[in-house]
Amino acid sequence: MSAKQKEHVFTKNLDHALLSVYNGYKFFIRFFVEAFRGRMEFQELVKQCYAIGYKSLVLIGLTGFITGMVFTKQSRPSLAEFGATSWLPSLVSIAIVRALAALVTALISAGKVGSSIGAELGSMRVTEQIDAMEVSAINPFKFLVVTRVLASTITIPLLMFYCTLVGLMGAFLNVYLNEGTSAVAFIEKAFEQITFLDLGTSVAKAVAYGFTIGIVGCYQGYNATKGTEGVGKAANSSVVISMFLIFIEEVIIVQVSNYFRG
């Protein structure tokens, strides 16, 4: 490929990337306009909360429990070197509440929920089901996008709390089997170091992650093209882009919360 051809490809890719960012921005703004306009599709919202939240309980629970247990097990040798295994509940609870629960919930949801939204809407786009709504004088954006984004924004923070609880149970099981610590002592130690700022930051993260997973999945699916290939691409890019944005948000929110922590 000649230098001129390379330059042409680069310019074309850059144009495409800038156009995607602009279209994403327009989609983001449209969400807020549509969310506050007209009648809310409550039935669909409840259905999506059930699909995103309730149907993820087993997966999030299992992952959270294993994360809590393994993190405790891996941290023990380091603390044991200083004879500080009694600090395990505090260490684990800080890690789970401040970082792990929100991140694990978000990453699992990006894979499960994001890909499912991307594929479902992508399939509806390429089979003209979205066009069929439009020609029936129904607003497909309100029915499909607003409900799914709101559902993921509402349910992912709830899943995060559930993941925290189950993660701490996993940690307790490990501590109980090794140190014989009672449940009351574990809870006392675990919550000793947790502040409202920690909880608030976790909720803010989960809300941001939930919104990101919903809006990215919807954007990719709603704008899918090129038949079945487009559906696969929409599902795949929903996961990849959501995960990328989740890590960027994690960095920003941690920086902001550390600023308030002083």
Site residues (vs another protein, CB under 8 A) = 123-124, 127-129, 131-132, 134-138
Q: Select 14 or 132, whichever has its Cβ closest to another protein.
A: 132
The closest alpha carbon to 221, from 241, 207, 206, belongs to: 241
Q: Select 131 or 192, whichever has its Cβ closest to another protein.
A: 131
Q: Select 144 or 213, whichever has its Cβ closest to another protein.
A: 144
Distance of CA 87 to the CA centre of its chain: 30
Q: Select 137 or 184, whichever has its Cβ closest to another protein.
A: 137
Q: How far is the CB of 45 from another protein (least distance, A)?
A: 15
Q: How far is the CB of 234 from another protein (least distance, A)?
A: 16
Q: Select 5 or 136, whichever has its Cβ closest to another protein.
A: 136
Q: How far is the CB of 134 from another protein (least distance, A)?
A: 6
Q: Select 129 or 236, whichever has its Cβ closest to another protein.
A: 129
Q: How far is the CB of 132 from another protein (least distance, A)?
A: 4
3-class SS letters over the chain: CCHHHHHHHHHHHHHHHHHHHHHHHHHHHHHHHHHCCCCCCHHHHHHHHHHHCHHHHHHHHHHHHHHHHHHHHHHHHHHHHCCCHHHHHHHHHHHHHHHHHHHHHHHHHHHHHHHHHHHHHHHHHHCCHHHHHHHCCCCHHHHHHHHHHHHHHHHHHHHHHHHHHHHHHHHHHHHHHHHCCCHHHHHHHHHHCCCHHHHHHHHHHHHHHHHHHHHHHHHHHHCCCCHHHHHHHHHHHHHHHHHHHHHHHHHHHHHHHHHHHC
Q: How far is the CB of 131 from another protein (least distance, A)?
A: 6
Give the Cα separation of 218 and 238 in Å (integer).
8
Q: How far is the CB of 229 from another protein (least distance, A)?
A: 17
The closest alpha carbon to 116, from 199, 24, 221, belongs to: 221
Q: Select 44 or 250, whichever has its Cβ closest to another protein.
A: 44
Q: How far is the CB of 135 from another protein (least distance, A)?
A: 4
